[in-house]
Amino acid sequence: MSGHRILVVGLATVLICALTGPAGASDPRGGAAPSSAHPARAQVDERGAGTAAKVRKARQAKRQKCRKARRIGRNQAGTAAAKRAAAQCERAKKRLQRVKLAHQRSKQQPVQRSGFREYVSLGDSWSADVVLLDTHGLPDTTHVPVDCAQSKVNYPKLVARELAIPVHRDPTCGSATTRHFSGAQSLPLGGTNTPQFDRLSTTTDLVTIGIGGNDAGFAAAALDCINLLPTSLPPGTLPALPNLPLPLLPSQPPIGGCKGKFTSGGTDVLAQQIDASRPLLVAAIKEVRRRAPRARILMLDYIAGIPERACWPIVPITQEDMTYLHQTFARLNAMVRRAAREGGAEFVDTHTPTLGHDVCQLPTVRYVEGLGVVSVNGVAVAVPAHPNSAGAAAQARAVLHHIRTR
């Protein structure tokens, strides 16, 4: 969904641009380096490194237990305590041998390739897993301008690394809609993300798609639900904000709530916009099939970022509005699922396995950040109301599980 809807994020992105130089248009097919070029390596399961750590731990445990056994044996020879300590030492020795053997086997096992050779990931900010700055540095500019805010450890890169796919092109970008699949996307700092479809080819054999939230206007609408008061006000109580050419501004002051605005007169505007977006997603899937006829196409929904119960003032949205947002978000995901079926794509459910990790959870538990700009679940200067790196890893797990079990 939108990566440019809160003013503080726009200002922070300006700082990034100043540090990195002007953001220009990206080469749609250039920089298609093997996925090993990305630092996502640190996010996947490295079997050898994991078993090496177990060897060190087992060796340390053996050393401690056997030292204890020798000490007790010297001072309490023949006692029950000495026998127990000696038995613990022997068990630690055997465990160390088992762990060493497992470590040797892990080093001998070759990387299991998936068979995919060329992967293209399409989508908006919840696929780019947008970030401003993290432990990997500034946003990735391998395939997109810096003002796409694309994470170096977004879920597509984690999938490409885990499946050892040699060619991966990733045009995912904050604020993207289906319109930007076939047309260029102008970005807030002057960059241009060329049409995402341009990265597809007849040899592409895996495509993931995460899109729809911006087409339906959900991301922009959610900002209007921010309410510094613990209760809602009747629609029209407050004047609308001027339509300034600035990123990340709501359409009304952060007072009063949103449900009344979007359901005034008995018509749910967001519901209508979601329903109207389905044909756009279906058409996008069919165009992917036309351009990449050999590809396995996966359509993802959105992870479970919005809870049923509010947590005002931690996230300043009233219970009435949070319930409305939760129901609307469920409608959005249901639309994505239906579009996948109608367009002929495989649907990947990322929502169900991420329940309990919404914006109201503890900072070390949540997969989607609230209004703060600092994430601790994967240390980063984050984009509010977007997945953090833990959320990206959860998305990747859902995609990998689908690929391996279907």
Q: Which residues of 60-73 are buried (b: 16+ CB within 10 A; e: fewer)?
A: ebbeebbeebeebb
Q: What is the pLDDT of residue 5?
A: 47
Q: Is 19 exposed, middle or buried (0-12, 13-18, 19+ CB in 10 A)?
A: exposed
- Confidence (pTM): 0.73
Q: Dig out the tokens for 394 from the structure.
A: 């959860």
The CATH number of 7-32+113-405 is 3.40.50.1110
List the chain domain ranges: 7-32+113-405, 47-108
With beta carbons less than 8 A apart as the criterion, state whether 32 and 167 touch.
yes
Report H helices in 76-217.
Answer: 80-108, 125-128, 155-162, 179-182
Q: What is the pLDDT of residue 234?
A: 57
Q: Find all residues with CB under 8 Å of 37, minimum gap 6, and list them.
A: 142
**Pairwise CA distance, residues 300 & 399, whole Å:** 8
Determine the distance from the C-alpha atom of residue 185 to the mean position of all C-alpha atoms in its chain, rounded to a whole number. Answer: 21
Q: Which of 102, 163, 95, 151 is nearest to 126 (CA)?
A: 151
Distances (CA, A) of 33 to 45, 94, 279, 325: 21, 45, 34, 40
Q: What is the pLDDT of residue 284?
A: 98
Q: What is the pLDDT of residue 227?
A: 85
Tens digit of pLDDT at every position of the chain (406 positions)? 654 544 344 444 434 443 344 444 444 554 444 444 444 444 444 455 567 788 888 898 989 999 998 999 889 888 988 889 899 999 999 899 888 887 776 655 444 457 999 999 999 999 999 999 999 999 999 999 999 999 999 999 999 999 999 999 999 999 999 999 999 999 999 999 999 999 999 999 999 999 999 999 998 888 889 888 766 555 555 555 455 444 444 445 556 678 998 999 999 999 999 999 999 999 999 999 999 999 999 999 999 999 999 999 999 999 999 999 999 999 999 999 999 999 999 999 999 999 999 999 999 999 999 888 899 999 999 999 999 999 999 999 999 999 999 8
Q: What is the pLDDT of residue 43?
A: 41
Q: Which of 218, 174, 230, 247 is nearest to 327 (CA)?
A: 218
Q: Find all residues with CB under 8 Å of 159, minimum gap 6, and list them.
A: 119, 121, 165, 208, 396, 399, 400, 403
Largest CA distance in the chain: 88
SS3 2: coil
Kindly report the backbone phi and psi dihedral angles of residue 118, in degrees, each rounded to the nearest multiple of 5, phi listed first.
-145, 115
With beta carbons less than 8 A apart as the criterion, state whether 259 and 232 touch.
yes
* 313 prior amide bond cis, ω within 30: yes
